[in-house]
Amino acid sequence: MKDCRRLISMGLVLLVFAGPGCVRNPVTGKKQLRAISPGQEIAIGQNSAPEFESQMGGKVDNSKLQQYVASVGRKLAEVSDRSMPYEYALLNSDIPNAFALPGGKIYLTAGLMSQMRNERQLAAVLAHETIHVAAGHSVQGLQQQMGAAIFVELLGALVGGEGAQTAEAAAKFAGNMVLLKYSRGMESEADAYGVAYMVRAGYNPWGMVELLEVLQSLSNSNPGLFGDFFATHPLTSKRIKEVREIVKEDYSKFSPATPDPHEQDFMRMRSLLINTLKD
């Protein structure tokens, strides 16, 4: 409890809601303060998701594609250390990016999926985003970005307000979700524990290294395209090196040379995506 007492004495607390307290982070095992209850966290994601989705071009209108992304996501949700109503969906935006709303709504864009080459790379991005929810990064990140006082005020309007007040709060949360920037520490946790979730779900963890390398090489050839992605999930050579070392040392029975057994399924879905976007 010592860590929490220190946090409380530092005044970093929002002790205004029912449900705050000292809890153990289910992913990292570290003690931390919980400022809002899981129910409030789910309410933020669910109430602002429609506005968030419309700002991001809506969902791709193809049930086969949505079911495929959801089926890969479900394998990761099932091995998560934190029970949340996880949902995984594909957004109709060309700009490569991925998002995790508080409460478990997770998205990747068509632009990101179309740059991947196999299912383990898709699992890698969904695992990374799942950790942002399971470890509480998305809700903490939003509080930091919006400022504690505004966050509290808008949460009140979102869950307790009515009509225009609720809609305005949802729009403000959604706008912040589109631009949410995670700290380096959160990114490292999402990579490291994301790799662990991939392995638990039956995927080769080298998919995470492949994904980061693909993104980095694409960004070298077209820096403008990935501006938003790297603003929300900062990518550096150091980050790739760290993930590579974790996979090499902690998961030595896997090889980067092993083909992905689901590569054909993924490539079929990727062709379907490219054709759907053309229509």
* Token pair listed for 62: 């193809």
Q: Which strands sit side by side in the sheet containing 98-100, from one edge to the other?
A: 87-91, 105-109, 98-100
Q: Where does this chain touch Zn ion (CB under 5 A) — which range of 86-94, 159-167, 197-205, 227-235?
A: 227-235
Site string for Zn ion, 98-117 (x = CB under 5 A): --------------------
Q: Which residue is nearest to Zn ion (CB)?
A: 233
Site for Zn ion in 148-167 (CB under 5 A): none
Please pick, from the candidates 76, 122, 190, 247, the single residue that binds Zn ion as defined by CB under 5 A.
190
Closest CB to Zn ion among residues 34, 233:
233
* Token pair listed for 3: 């860590």
Closest CB to Zn ion among residues 89, 211:
211
| Cα gap 29→94, rounded to integer Å | 37
Q: Where does this chain touch Zn ion (CB under 5 A) — which range of 19-27, 118-126, 151-159, 178-186?
A: 178-186
Helix residue ranges, H only, the chain: 2-9, 38-55, 63-78, 110-113, 119-134, 137-146, 148-160, 163-178, 184-200, 206-221, 227-232, 237-250, 263-278
Q: Rounded to the nearest whole angstrom, what is the least distance from the CB of residue 80 to Zn ion in the complex?
A: 16
Please pick, from the candidates 142, 233, 246, 260, the single residue that binds Zn ion as defined by CB under 5 A.
233
Q: Where does this chain touch Zn ion (CB under 5 A) — which range of 9-17, 225-233, 241-249, 254-262?
A: 225-233
Site for Zn ion in 51-70 (CB under 5 A): none
* Angle CA 129–133–135, to nearest 5: 110
Contact set with Zn ion (CB under 5 A):
182, 190, 233
